[in-house]
A = this chain, B = another copy of it.
Amino acid sequence: MIVVMKPGASKDQIDQMVTQVESLGLKAHVIVGTEHTVIAAVGTKRDGNKESLESGDGVAEVVRISAPYKIASREVKPDTTVVSTGSLSVGGGHIGVIAGPCSVEDEQQILQSAVAVKEAGATALRGGAFKPRTSPYSFQGLKEEGLKLLAAARDETGLAIVTEVVAPEDVELVAAYADVLQIGARNMQNYRLLEAVGGQRCAVLLKRGPSATIDELLLAAEYVLDRGNPNVMLCERGIRTFEDHTRFTLPLATVSYLHQKTHLPVVTDPSHGTGHAYLVPDMCAASVAAGADGIIVEVHPDPAKALSDGYQSLTFDEFGQMMQRCRKVAEAVGRIM
């Protein structure tokens, strides 16, 4: 941590800041610059309230040097984490493909989808049973009934099940049916929920919130890891920007950046990341080329009749064509898909 003093900060103010740095258990090095004096604070503690130093007299700003997360950090664990559960393997050269409808709507819809996406090469089935919806008047999901239909689809196809959990009190119920607990973008900083899935051992797919920084995403992962669950996959699903021709902006450099900073595998979500079905296949191919460890894609038997997210869902045919193209790209970059 570097404390930058204002130009003209007095000796008293500098001394006081040194005392305060030392009271946090850190060693203070004072460097007198031509305009600014800076105090480098050295030590092992990554204490969250250091930022209060910023309100010290004569302080211009405080610059953090060390990453605020630990267990998620590649510095701490250099080996890439591979998350494997049933048919799904994400990380380490294998590209996982999680596909299926936004919401589980009925038995036929989910079974048909499971069979179709498996045939095309998907390695897990997605489908929402508990749906967080922007409007209270929208379809809210089939809940436990939906979970049962997902489990039936797994029995039929062998595909691992990925489904969202929206509240701590549902975690055990959802974990009883699902292979991967998805934390949605809206809940990325629902810490009680993160702690609850941290108490499980099944895999977790943690989606980046649409305005979360990468540090915030990794600190959210840290909540899960810190409770003892190491099976975390991160998911880039698009950020909110001024762009209005897509629902969100999908920043694929996230994949490469995360691979530098963390050992956790990284999945992308081109469906939410663009919000338009016709943009999804290109962004799937781009994700694979960029080094993503997995993709999660919305697929529906009849998108125009979907109860949610129809506008961004591929048909079975479109999904099949996308998979053929992506497999070639995966091969070109030396990955297995």
Contacts and interface: CB of A to CB of B under 8 A. Distances in A.
Interface of A: 2, 4, 7, 20, 29, 31-36, 38, 40, 42-44, 46-49, 51-57, 63, 65-66, 68-69, 75, 132-139, 166-169, 186-187, 189-192, 209-211, 213-216, 219, 222-223, 226, 239-246, 249-253, 255-257, 260, 273-274, 277-279, 282-283, 285-291, 303-311, 313, 325, 328-329, 331-333
B333 A47 contact: no
Contacts of A209: 211
Q: Which 5 pairs across A and B sit closest by C-beta, in order of nearness?
A: A48-B138, A52-B310, A211-B211, A289-B289, A54-B311
A100 B237 CA distance: 33
B186 A166 contact: no
Q: Taking each of A57, A65, A244, A283, which has the highest tally of chain B beta carbons within 10 Å of its own beta carbon?
A: A65
A211 B136 contact: no
Q: Taking each of A40, A46, A139, A216, which has the highest tally of chain B beta carbons within 10 Å of its own beta carbon?
A: A40
Nearest to A138: B48
B20 A304 contact: yes
A282 B304 contact: no
Given A33-B42, A186-B189, A55 B213 contact: no
Contacts of A242: 211, 213, 239-242
A228 B40 CA distance: 39
A249 B43 CA distance: 33
Contacts of A249: 239, 241, 249, 251, 253
Nearest to A53: B304
A255 to B, nearest CB: 7
Contacts of A134: 48, 68, 189, 215-216, 219
Given A63-B2, A285-B333, A332-B329, A49 B306 contact: yes
A189 B185 CA distance: 10
Contacts of A214: 243, 245
Nearest to A8: B75
A136 B136 CA distance: 31
B213 A210 contact: no
A273 B253 contact: yes
A34 to B, nearest CB: 5
A331 B133 CA distance: 42
Contacts of A191: 132-133, 136, 166
B36 A65 contact: yes
A6 to B, nearest CB: 9
B253 A303 contact: no
Contact of A135 (B36, B48, B210): B48
